[in-house]
Structure 1
Amino acid sequence: MIGRLSGTLLEKHPPHVVLDAHGVGYELDVPMSTFYVLPELNARVVLFTHLVVREDAQLLYGFATRAERDLFRELIKISGIGAKIALAILSGLSSDELALAIAGEDVARLSKVPGIGKKTAERLVLELKGRLGGLPNMPPDLAPLRPVDAPPGAGSDILHALLALGYNEREAAAAVKALPARTEVSDGIRLALKRLARV
């Protein structure tokens, strides 16, 4: 089991990253909560990881904190919640928002995450209620969003990230179109997810 990787960040194409560790390039999928806190390319980074081995693939998932990985592992234990949906949950809700939704049995809020229907949201509440309190606190949200000059292709990267998280093309395109001009990728994804959560 690969539990942790330390190396150089080579690529960032949300939600995928490539991390070079001692000459080996590891491809990982990360939730947006981790993507937001990644350093610039070619910087050193440490990610906690979870490896999934299937007949047709070996998939590696990366997380900024051990607590985030622990929450991911709690989610994938639930029937009907695979790794892709667990990443979508961690991308669409902060740990505090998820805990509040579970404690308040807010099925409607949970159902706004792509891939989560009413029955799955009810199962989340049933199986996670009382279990999230034992997980270490996740880091708070980052500083307020700041508009900056966007790199070329930022809109395309944001759209790709939303599609990878399970939103359909119409929803993703509408969310990207509503973003302010010159929004960088990580801030754009965050704003788009907040907009989609209100729809």
Structure 2
Amino acid sequence: MLSYFKGYINNILFNNNRSILILEVNNIGYEIQVPLHFARKLEINLEKQIQIFTHFQIRDDQQFLYGFSSSAQRDLFRQLIAISGIGCQSAIALIDTLGLEDLVQAIVTGNIRQLSKTPGIGQKTAERIALELKTKLSQWRISAGVTVENTNAFPNEEIMADLEMTLMALGYTNKEIQQAISVISQDNLLQKNTHVEEWIRSAIAFLSFNNP
């Protein structure tokens, strides 16, 4: 029901940390909550025609529409809200904070630290998400065409924690840190190394070369 809409962007509203798209379809304006990053892209394309994939929810006596840039993003949202304790706002926050590919990867690899970076998502909630969706998403991502990095390549949680904290202490941004980890994790020799010092040395070397 209401799988998608094709219409014109009438306006983008930002209220109470929520991004609302007003989409005009056949002279009717629909209010659709969308992820903030998606809203920012739509904001510069007012009056442009778009296709948006939707999820329709009825709660008590209220009706809500949630919109996403792709069917894969919408389907992941539906899998998240099927988990006990994960509401629509938490699911949108996860997608908004990590993005489709990084969110799927964090769940499939059980990266609790990455999931916990989302506002409102604590460690126990992150663990529940990974536990309930890890197997499902491992299969779903293939049929949905979602590409993720080698899930066996990333360092274990202990190394990851020390690596991230060290790099943050050195002044690198989270984006730079995640990029470095993604690249150096493809090193076959490093994958077998359990010494965090080697991971730190490789990450700094990469960041120094790419951010002189």
Using structure 1 for the length normalisation, give the TM-score: 0.66
Q: Distance in 1 between matches of 2:146 and 2:46?
A: 24
Amino acid in structure 1 at the alignment position of 2:28: V
Out of 73, 78, 81, the residue aligned to residue 73 of structure 1 is 78
Identity across matched positions, percent: 39
Q: Distance in 2 between matches of 1:64 and 1:138?
A: 14
Q: Distance in 2 between matches of 1:21 and 1:55?
A: 26
Amino acid in structure 1 at the alignment position of 2:85: G
Secondary structure at the aligned position of 2:135 is classed as coil
CA apart distance, 1:138: 4.8
CA apart distance, 1:36: 4.8
Query: Which aligned segments of 4 or more residues in structure 1 are displaced greater than 2 angstroms?
Result: 32-39, 137-140
Counterparts of 1:10-25 in structure 2, within 5 Å, are 10-14=10-14, 15-25=19-29
* Bigger share in helix: 2
Out of 90, 93, 96, the residue aligned to residue 98 of structure 2 is 93
Secondary structure at the aligned position of 1:49 is classed as strand
Q: Distance in 1 between matches of 2:26 and 2:175?
A: 37
RMSD: 2.5
Question: Which residue in 2 is equivalent to 1:169?
Answer: none
State how many pairs are aligned.
145
**Contact between 1:6 and 1:47, CA under 8 Å: does it hold in 2?**
yes
CA apart distance, 1:32: 3.2
Unaligned runs of at least 5 residues, structure 1: 141-190
Q: Distance in 1 between matches of 2:175 and 2:61?
A: 34
**Contact between 2:3 and 2:54, CA under 8 Å: does it hold in 1?**
yes
Does 2:10 match 1:5? no
Using structure 2 for the length normalisation, give the TM-score: 0.62
**Contact between 1:37 and 1:64, CA under 8 Å: does it hold in 2?**
no
Question: Which residue in 2 is equivalent to 1:137?
Answer: 145
Out of 21, 24, 46, the residue aligned to residue 41 of structure 1 is 46
